[in-house]
Each structure stands twice: as C-alpha cells, then as structure tokens.
C-alpha cells in the first residue's frame, strides 16, 4: 500500500540517509500523525526517539528527532490508527525492523495504541 511513499523516501537525499542511519543504529522509531492547523490535512513524520538526555535545538519537541516528513498524508484524525499501523507494517518489512513503530498523535503517544512503549 505504501510502496510509492517508501520509494520516495529512498530517493530523497536527506530522508534516505536519515532513515538508513536510524535503522542501522537500531533507534526506536515513531510515526507522528499530526496537523499544523485545523484547516490543513494531516501529515505523518517518521521520527527517532531522542537518545540525548538534553534536547538539542534541531530536535523537535517531545523528545523526537524528525527523520522524514510527509505532508497531506490523510484528511482526518480518525484515519490515524489504521493508516499509521499499515505504514508501520510496510516500513518493518522494507527496513527489516523487529518491532512496529510507536504511534503518536500530534506529538504524544496515541491513546490505546498497543504499539506504545515497545
């Protein structure tokens, strides 16, 4: 379902190297489903949980380092769990990940997601 998106990540000069480095370092990955304003569609970011105890300026809020940002991913909040779960599965297959990505909604762990904390 998300083959084209993963292909675009692999062709992007910054996103490819950021994802490859995070996967090689076995960093815990997060899908942050979010919107920038009430009038905009939802975006999804692939993030790595911050390793440093002190947040650096280039890192986003909430202890997440954004590796990939996809605008216009979906139209509504209720699409969060189905779409991010499917994307997580595709990313696990493509990158050979042992565990699913944790799902966040607007920078916070998604309530009721069985993937949180893994």
Spell out the domain ranges in the chain: 3-109
Please, where are the H alpha helices in the chain?
3-11, 13-24, 80-95
Contact (CB, 8 A) for 31 and 103: yes
pLDDT score, position 63: 84
Task: For residue 64, count other CB atoms closer than 10 A to its CB.
Answer: 22
Q: Which residue, 91, 43, 45, is CA-closest to 67?
A: 45
> How does pLDDT run along the chain (118 residues), one tens digit per residue?
799 999 999 999 999 999 999 999 999 999 999 999 878 899 999 999 986 555 444 444 558 999 999 999 999 999 999 999 999 999 999 999 999 999 999 989 988 665 444 4
């Amino acid at each position: 379902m998300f083959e084209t998106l993963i292909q675009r990540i692999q062709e992007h000069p910054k996103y490819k190297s950021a994802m490859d480095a995070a996967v090689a370092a076995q960093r815990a990955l997060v899908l942050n489903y979010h919107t920038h304003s009430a009038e905009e569609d939802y975006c999804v970011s692939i993030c790595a949980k911050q390793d440093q105890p002190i947040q650096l300026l280039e890192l986003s809020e909430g202890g997440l380092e954004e590796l990939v940002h996809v605008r216009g991913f979906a139209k509504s909040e209720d699409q969060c769990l189905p779409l991010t779960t499917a994307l997580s599965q595709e990313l696990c297959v493509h990158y050979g990940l042992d565990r699913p990505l944790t799902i966040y909604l607007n920078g916070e762990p998604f309530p009721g997601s069985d993937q949180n904390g893994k």
